[in-house]
Structure 1
Amino acid sequence: MNSLQSPPEFLQAILEGFVDGILVLTHQRQVLYANITAHRLCHRLAGTSVEHVPSEIWQVCEALIESHDLNPEKLFVIESEVECEEMTLRVRVQWLTLDGIECPCLLVRLQDQNQAVQMLAIAEAQNWRLTQRETQVWILRRSGLSRKRIAANLYISEDTVKKHLGNIKAKRQSYLDEEEWRLNYNSHNPNELCSA
Structure 2
Amino acid sequence: MTNQQLLTKPIGIDVNQVADSSSEEATKAESSKPELNSDEGLPLLLKAIIEGFVDGVLILTTNQEWFHANECGRRMCSQISQGKLPINSIPEPIWRVCQSLIDSREWFSDRKRFLEDEIKVNKSVEFRVRVRWLTLDLSRDPYLLVTLEDQHQSTKNSAITDVINYGLSQREQEVWLLKKANFTYEEIAHQLYISINTVKKHLKKIYAKQKQLMQH
Specify if TM > 0.5: yes
**3-state secondary structure, aligned to 1:133:** helix
Query: What whole-Å deviation, never above 9, does each CA across 1:108-134 have from its counterpart, x for those lacking one?
Result: 011121111111111122111112221
Alignment counterpart, residue 32 of structure 1, candidates 37, 61, 67: 67
2:89 alignment counterpart: 52
Amino acid at match of 1:58: W
- How far is 1:52 from its partner? 0.8
Distance 1:17 1:154, change over 3 A: farther
Alignment counterpart, residue 87 of structure 1, candidates 116, 121, 125: 125
| 8 Å Cα contact 1:94/1:108 also seen in 2 | yes
- How far is 1:146 from its partner? 1.2
Alignment counterpart, residue 70 of structure 1, candidates 95, 107, 114: 107
> Quick check: which one's helix share is greater?
1
Higher RCO (Cα < 8 Å, 6 or more apart): 2
1:136 alignment counterpart: 174
What TM-score, normalized by structure 2, do the two folds share?
A: 0.75
- How far is 1:87 from its partner? 1.9
Aligned partners of 1:70, 1:22: CA distance in 2, in Å?
Answer: 26
Query: What whole-Å deviation, never above 9, does each CA across 1:122-152 have from its counterpart, x for those lacking one?
Result: 1122111112221111110011111121111
| 8 Å Cα contact 1:3/1:32 also seen in 2 | no
**3-state secondary structure, aligned to 2:174:** helix
Aligned partners of 1:160, 1:13: CA distance in 2, in Å?
Answer: 48
Aligned partners of 2:174, 2:63: CA distance in 1, in Å?
Answer: 44
| Unmatched segments (≥5 aa) in structure 2 | 1-37
User: Residues 1-196 of structure 1: matches in 2 within 5 Å?
Assistant: 4-9=40-45, 11-46=46-81, 47=83, 48-49=85-86, 51-85=88-122, 86-178=124-216
| 8 Å Cα contact 1:26/1:105 also seen in 2 | yes
Query: What whole-Å deviation, never above 9, does each CA across 1:54-83 have from its counterpart, x for those lacking one?
Result: 011000000111111332124111111122
CA RMSD between the two structures: 1.8
- How far is 1:32 from its partner? 1.3
Q: What percent identity do the matched residue pairs reach?
A: 40
**3-state secondary structure, aligned to 1:95:** strand
- How far is 1:49 from its partner? 4.7
Aligned partners of 2:170, 2:43: CA distance in 1, in Å?
Answer: 40
What TM-score, normalized by structure 1, do the two folds share?
A: 0.83
The number of aligned residues is 176
Amino acid at match of 2:92: S
Distance 1:18 1:133, change over 3 A: farther
| 8 Å Cα contact 1:23/1:38 also seen in 2 | yes
| Unmatched segments (≥5 aa) in structure 1 | 179-196
- How far is 1:6 from its partner? 4.1
